[in-house]
């Protein structure tokens, strides 16, 4: 559509910005903001054209509005889940041993806010503070999705190694039988208290809380955009969720293996 035909409409400036060199080379977030501006300004322009007797042009503009509404979920995906900031959220080379101590609530708030904005736009309310949206994306880039994934992976690997030892011992039969109580029945609970309950379990609890803070708003955003998620993204999403779910359940599995082995001896706390 030639923006010169929309003289007298605020939409004319929006189309001009979109068709400019900067507009054609804009980041996906900027393109989304221009599309939202178009959808916000188009209805009064349609009304103005109709009142001026320019019915054909009004109908052409309305068709463009319909197309842009249909394209909006993909625009939101490109500007959020597919952008560089989201890539940074999932990119890390190593994990600080103290993680997740002192993690910020900013990425969680950012994800929740972006999810709320997407819901608002998809419902037909195209208002947005451009600067605020860009700041939300920046805040997302400072997030710790990759750190969480890697920390849970490392924790699960360590616990799986310990679980293999427990399963091998359990395969030999009950640790305690009748009055027979080996020294391991008293040593193991002490080791569990020192290394697991006092050492690993507190960090596991913090990792679990971080998992339940970060993932729900992210998964809610993905659910809203499910229809337009590319196949490669879906495959990555499924692998991510499968791994994170399994890793986050590793401490509970370890406790269950400990309980199974020590149950004949009076449990983890002994007699």
The predicted structure's pLDDT at residue 85: 94
DSSP percent split of the chain into helix, strand, coil, nearest 5: 75, 0, 25
Total domains in the fold of the chain: 2
Q: Domain for residue 93, yes or no?
A: no
Separation CA 240–CA 271 (nearest Å): 42
The predicted structure's pLDDT at residue 147: 95
Residues 260 and 148 in one domain: yes
Return the structure tokens found at 11: 């939409």
Peptide bond into 133 cis (omega under 30): no
Q: Domain for residue 132, yes or no?
A: no
Q: Domain for residue 199, yes or no?
A: yes
Q: Domain for residue 66, yes or no?
A: yes
Return the structure tokens found at 213: 């803070």
Residues 66 and 148 in one domain: no
Q: Domain for residue 137, yes or no?
A: no
Separation CA 123–CA 103 (nearest Å): 33
Among candidate residues 13, 40, 72, the one where a domain is terminated: 72
Separation CA 170–CA 167 (nearest Å): 5
Residues 67 and 166 in one domain: no
Q: Domain for residue 231, yes or no?
A: yes
Q: Domain for residue 242, yes or no?
A: yes
Q: What SS3 state is found at 130?
A: helix
Return the structure tokens found at 6: 């929309």
Among candidate residues 72, 91, 109, the one where a domain is terminated: 72
Q: What is the pLDDT of residues 11-39, one digit of tens each?
A: 999 998 888 867 777 899 999 999 999 99
Quote the domain boundaries for residue 18.
Answer: 1-72
The predicted structure's pLDDT at residue 251: 93
Phi, psi of 54 (to 5 degrees): -95, 65
Q: Domain for residue 46, yes or no?
A: yes
Residues 156 and 261 in one domain: yes
The predicted structure's pLDDT at residue 118: 98
Residues 68 and 158 in one domain: no
Can you list the residues of the chain whose pLDDT is less than 50?
Answer: none
The predicted structure's pLDDT at residue 267: 81
Half-sphere exposure (CA, 13 Å, Cβ side) for 203?
18
CA 186 to centroid of chain Cα atoms: 44
Among candidate residues 72, 105, 128, the one where a domain is terminated: 72
The predicted structure's pLDDT at residue 3: 55
The predicted structure's pLDDT at residue 136: 98
Q: What is the per-residue burial (b if ≥16 Cβ within 10 Å, else e) of 11-33?
A: bbebbebbeeeeeeebebbbbbb
CA 122 to centroid of chain Cα atoms: 19
């Amino acid at each position: 559509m030639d923006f010169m035909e929309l003289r007298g409409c605020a939409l004319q400036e929006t189309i001009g910005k979109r068709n400019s060199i900067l507009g054609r080379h804009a980041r996906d977030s900027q393109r989304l903001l221009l599309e939202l501006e178009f959808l916000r300004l188009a209805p009064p322009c349609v009304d103005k054209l109709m009142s001026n007797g320019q019915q054909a042009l009004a109908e052409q503009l309305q068709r463009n509005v319909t197309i842009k509404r249909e394209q909006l979920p993909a625009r939101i995906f490109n500007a959020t889940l597919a952008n560089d900031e989201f890539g940074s959220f999932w990119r890390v080379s190593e994990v600080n041993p103290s993680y997740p101590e002192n993690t910020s609530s900013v990425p969680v708030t950012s994800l929740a806010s972006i999810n709320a904005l997407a819901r608002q736009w998809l419902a037909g309310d195209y208002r947005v503070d451009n600067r605020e949206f860009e700041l939300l994306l920046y805040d997302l880039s400072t997030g710790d999705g990759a750190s969480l994934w890697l920390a849970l992976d490392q924790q699960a690997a360590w616990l799986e190694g310990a679980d293999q030892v427990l399963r091998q011992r359990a395969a030999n039969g009950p640790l305690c039988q009748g009055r027979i109580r080996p020294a391991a029945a008293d040593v193991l609970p002490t080791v569990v208290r020192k290394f697991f309950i006092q050492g690993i379990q507190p960090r596991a609890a913090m990792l679990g809380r971080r998992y339940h803070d970060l993932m729900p708003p992210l998964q809610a955003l993905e659910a809203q955009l499910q229809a337009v998620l590319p196949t490669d993204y879906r495959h990555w999403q499924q692998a991510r969720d499968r791994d994170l779910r399994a890793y986050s359940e590793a401490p509970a599995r370890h406790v269950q293996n400990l309980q199974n082995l020590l149950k004949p001896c009076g449990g983890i706390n002994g007699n």
